[in-house]
Structure 1
């Protein structure tokens, strides 16, 4: 049932809302005993207050200020919206005038302090129903006095508000607008190193370690309206110990936003400032170190890869000044093809995954030049573990890379030289062995024939003497050719070969070589086919030696018949080609690249390996060349000497 404006017996109805159940019980009991008001509902927060007035439509609502869920100030407009005829009295342990004024602005008809005697509470509430504000009539019958237990409950409730101030671990004080301390707690007295009773009535400027100017400036900022909260730091000395404190000053304002008094909070920040100073010095030293390092580019990147800092080494290595690069993405330092592959972004992904990333690669300076860089990217987190960016260190290692490459080239060259020396040693050893073999037969024939003629000359027939003499002649010719090749090779290597130049008839040159071959190999078919009228400028004996060597090579390593030919070729027939071909299968492919090297020998192993070498060197000394032309499948190749042709009338 609804109580309305009048309850049982015509008494005004009231709802009590307070988060302290013992306070509600005490007030409810006192109002019942007064006989002047009827309590029709209760609540412990603002939400319950709105629900109670909507249900009971009471004449009065006694509403606490500080409550959980919804406090009294927030609930007050909603209460009046739900029951406009209800008169609301705010009931609080706070005595600040500004709070009372705010409550009235929101629609409260009174602000009653919990320190008010409960003996007068019923009269004060009834008086609120009189629009003229007349003094309440004495209650009949007289209200019995509160017993000691009820007074104790009320005192304990009120004391909870004072305990927040008095027992706080941080120094607190109430200060006049002139800066005089009127109330302080024990924490402040301990922090300032004075007795608590000595703080009251003392100007805080006196307590601020001689920095009264700071306090006066703070008061001026607040009273002039320039600041609502001011923080100042100063030192306090307690005996031989000096501490750093931070004082926060804030005004308590009235309904017109004018300061009523000041609230002061003071805390010891000595350890924090010492740590900050140490950190500042450490950061300053580190910053100086980083900024002055010139051999390394050291800079920070944002989580997105934007450059956030720059040092002298970065400017020297990369060419950008700080104003040109800060805020740009670090992909700027990479070649275009690396940027296109999104490699810089991939580096950050790997660094974020693994904590760091290292590599060596090409980077680009401001002027477009490239340098070889050693790079380290490290992920950076703050104290909470939040990723705040990357630290990047780059070193220009181009010189070191060039040195290493030069060492590698030198090592390769040395290895090649060693291989060549080894090959030369092997070739020389092979040459000596082959030369000894080549000398052994003709020398043996000459020695044996001489012994035979000396010991058994008279006993030999004419035919036997002729055969022995022909053998000696053949061996002598063989020795003479070997010695000629050795001498020619030696002079060619020493660049000491002298040429006696004249016009040489190529047809005669080829015919002479063929006749000599037929004499030494009468059983081998040797064909000649020379185009007439071909003339070259050269040393006849050396050119004859070259052609003889080609024919001897075909006789030694080829298969009959052997064909020697000469013809004009090239543009306008300006070149003479002397070609020697046999009927064999040609030179194996793996041997062709070494045919004209010194000491190169074929599969048969015969010869010194100097013949073709001499051919090429003699041809080149005549501004020509010597080559091997592979034949078609199943046919032999040919050896060709090319020489510059001269006109036939140039012959001397």
Structure 2
């Protein structure tokens, strides 16, 4: 009987590479493949069970990599020759593998036809010579087709392309980069480190080879393991970990970014680490916090200016010494109150405090001069600047308000500071008139810009559809003609709605709106609004629930316009089905419009009913809800938004109108 072929176990986490290698080894007739596995834990069990002559071991694998498994393999199978098979072309890692007891190291860039011979070379000389003497003379060309039940190999005729995917990348920039870099196995053992990383760790690059990076994270090893699991088990593409590095006497704050390098099937091959020194940034952030604290203390100490913060709804949330001196309120007395207390009765009735906040949101900042009132009722001439404040996400979070007492100026209108009455017409300063004119000009410019933007689309559709019908009528079939005519009809309706909204907004702005109010049944108006929008949204479900005996004292046309805007808003910004309902009580009809969307973003709610406010980037004049509220108030009612709650999953728009 002839000598039995040496046995071999192949451990490789990539099924296609494992299938290719085992197939070529069997075809070589030089080895008997007795086992296959995909990670270090399987390698230990197969080595113990089969006691193979050779164990071909991948370096980077999930659960347990090759470096971790090697000592245990040699313990349970001391006569087995372990050969690493890796895409890492590094002398340091090869040397480290030999130090740990490996018999050899084969790079995956090695031509596939040479792998069997390389493995044979690590066996005792008699066994390898015996096998070579009986080696059959035959071609080892890989047969095209499925290998080992896996997908077809790469187009390269000899299958080498499959292995080329497992070669280490980034070589050209790796060593010279100023940022710390390393390649690691899937379980975090360092395979290769660049000089920048070694400098951060206060060692040589070769000292890091084979080290579990989790040991270098200054107590953040569990977070490091969790980051690896996110990348290798959960399919993550990026993970970050901040930790301390370097000598304890001079620690550096670093940000470790981990990214998996995958093959064409999406399987992770190894982990790429990038390490950035964030120490200077953290020092700068600490200094910024200290600077902000110093600024806060400075603001609180200023006595010549009232400097304070307002919440988005206008309530006072902070108060400095200057504000207490100028306005007479202590922080305990004023914080939580609305800032309208600083204005006279006439200004409060006209809604001027709310107007200046709207203007600050719209333009970023609003400045004016005028009379303001102290706690004791006396007034003073003030120069005021209100600035809208947004956070880093662009969300409006409040206002800063700076007020200076300018009562001592010589150009202040008559009777300044001599009484408690509101200013008369002859006391309006030239500064106020100029500010009003500038604001009106800005409003008109914004209005024209919005009008031009919103009318452009339906005009283009009308023009294009009409031209197509005029020049290609005979070429179009009846269905195509009907579709273009329907497009023209919808665009014309859209232009009509836009024109109506803009004319109404202009009328409201000029305070020339005239209402023709009378006893008006409410249910027919709700049904009419539903039918109108059902025609343009045939697939949307719109329901109406209103008692037929509810009558309101209203201008039917204007109320219909407000209702149409509410329903259109629900369909455009929300999601069907839409439910319209009305109830009567306490002398008021309460009309609600609820859609099935996710509700209004909390960042948009404070300015929801403002002119030109819109939560979308893809269109809308921002006039619809503004008109709803203004028409409701002109009738003696109001309009507002009720956010979602546990018993009401969707937000609701509410319109109130006095009963007849």
TM-score normalised to structure 2 length? 0.34
TM-score normalised to structure 1 length? 0.34
